[in-house]
Chains A and B, each alone.
Chain A
Amino acid sequence: MSTFVDALQFIPDNSDLIWRKTVEHLELSGAAIAVSLLIAIPIGVWLGHIHRGSFVAINVANIGRSLPSLAIIAIGIGLLGLGFVNTMLALVVLAVPPMLTNAYVAVDGVDPNAVDAARGMGMRPREVLLRVELPLALPLIFAGIRTAAVYVIATATLWAVTGGGGLGEIIVNQASYRIEGVVAGAMCVAALALVAEVTFAALQRAVTPRGLRNTPPLGPGAAVLPPGELSATQGAHTR
């Protein structure tokens, strides 16, 4: 118990260090999430729109969830060397599957009657996508982004194990920062994941069309979280 109190004391005592490490952590996580978004969402949405590639799109998440995070980072370093960009690419590999699968399931699963009605109104395919399918699919797409973001933030702690920075560096360096530092670092990572979860939840609510606001956004293909990020999602996002 005293360790816990000491850890809470550690944060204000070392606020500079914690701030610097948090910023590093967010830089890596943010970059990885941004790149993954640019890759996963367009592909997932497109495949869902044309209703093709379901086997690949759905199993990508299953396979992605099985990938050992440290192993992927190790392979990334092995192929590309150490460094920010290389670790970021490894995190991208881990983040793309849940985003892609959720985007696919979201757009693929849009109520076919709505799509029919839109076509009946004379909308062209691109208009159907932009004005009907995407708005209806946005909640689930955001659920996938949320899952991936929390996963990336938790996995970014492993960056320190390979000599990088971020909050993991405090956790890993028990010699310098003692047990209080380790606990404080862990709490900061959990807090960061929680903030990301809440932020994306708010974003998800903001982009949900008002008519859909009270329906649960989870579809059968939504991804399951690995350890370390269950902080705000106790049971909410697992099947």
Chain B
Amino acid sequence: MIAAALAAAGPVIPDFGGGGASDRCVSENASFCMDWFRENWSDLFVPALREHVKLTVIAIVIGFAISTVLALLAHRLRWTEKPITVVTGILYTIPSLALFQLLVPITKLSLLTAEIALVSYTLLILFRNMLEGLRGVPADVRDAARGMGLTDRQVLWKVELPLALPAIVAGLRIATVTIISLATVAAFVVNEGLGRLIFAAIQSDVFKTELVAAGGLAVAMALFADAAFVLLQRRLTPWVRARAR
């Protein structure tokens, strides 16, 4: 499909508007035309960024909700852990392109298709981290809580979940970064996000500036999210650093 388009297209000069020096830089297809980038920042890149954030946030929120339910279930009923791990693991193993493609006949080329696939990829990471976090709560702490008279539900909300928070946030960090990466590929089935710009740039005879810009923005977004979660993790676990001191 794409290979055929690339083969058939001659040297097409992308017509993105903008004048003067920017035009020349673009028609020569230099690696990065700052002027073009600046001119098209708000029309082209900001919407794509917003769409990308939307794709990511929806996937993480839904994935987190589902994983929480699954983790609490596996925490309470031990035997459910294995089947849940197997199913989420299989979903995780499928190469992203393939999963997107497999869903297209069922849910067509839509946001739903992309989100179903993206949510599937969050499940294993979030589920496993949350379960490990809950399991990592020391038995004596749980004992002490019960000794103080807390009910099972209180133990969960007041003791286990807060202590599991670092592992949960670590899982969210990995999941978010992974989804930002996969959301670029999601443009294959839904015309949204930074991936949309990447594909468009490849199809208009490899418009380099757009490629570098869209790619760069995706990398920046991923690094920013990673750093934000690291800070959040540090904020939530002051005792880890105090101990190190």
Which A residues contact B (CB, under 8 angstroms)? Answer: 62-63, 65-75, 77-79, 81-82, 154, 157-158, 160-163, 168-169, 171-176, 179, 182-183, 185-186, 189-190, 224, 226-231, 234-235, 238
Contacts and interface: CB of A to CB of B under 8 A. Distances in A.
B3 A163 contact: yes
Given A71-B198, A78-B213, A179-B102, 10 more contacts: A65-B174, A68-B218, A73-B215, A74-B212, A77-B206, A78-B31, A161-B185, A161-B199, A161-B202, A182-B101
Secondary structure of the A contact surface, majority rule: helix
A162 B195 contact: no
Contact of B215 (A74, A179, A224, A228): A74
A50 to B, nearest CB: 24
A67 B222 contact: yes
A182 B222 contact: no
Contact of B177 (A66, A79, A157, A183): A66
Contacts of B198: 70-71, 74
Contacts of A229: 93
Nearest to A173: B1
Interface in B175-197: 177-178, 180-182, 184-185, 188, 194-195
Among B85, B177, B182, B215: residue with most chain A CB under 10 A: B215
Given A78-B32, A231-B93, A163 B98 contact: no
A230 B104 CA distance: 23
B101 A171 contact: yes
Contact of B92 (A161, A169, A189, A227): A227
B95 A154 contact: yes
B184 A71 contact: yes
Interface of B: 1-3, 6, 31-32, 85, 89, 92-99, 101-102, 104-105, 121, 124, 128, 174, 177-178, 180-182, 184-185, 188, 194-195, 198-199, 201-202, 206, 208-219, 222-223, 225-226
B206 A81 contact: yes
B130 to A, nearest CB: 14
Contacts of B182: 227
A238 B93 CA distance: 14
Given A66-B223, A70-B185, A157 B95 contact: yes
A158 B223 contact: no
Given A67-B219, A70-B195, A161-B199, A182 B98 contact: yes
A35 to B, nearest CB: 20
B201 A74 contact: yes
Nearest to B170: A239
A78 B184 contact: no
A163 B4 CA distance: 8
B192 to A, nearest CB: 14
A221 to B, nearest CB: 15
A81 B31 CA distance: 9
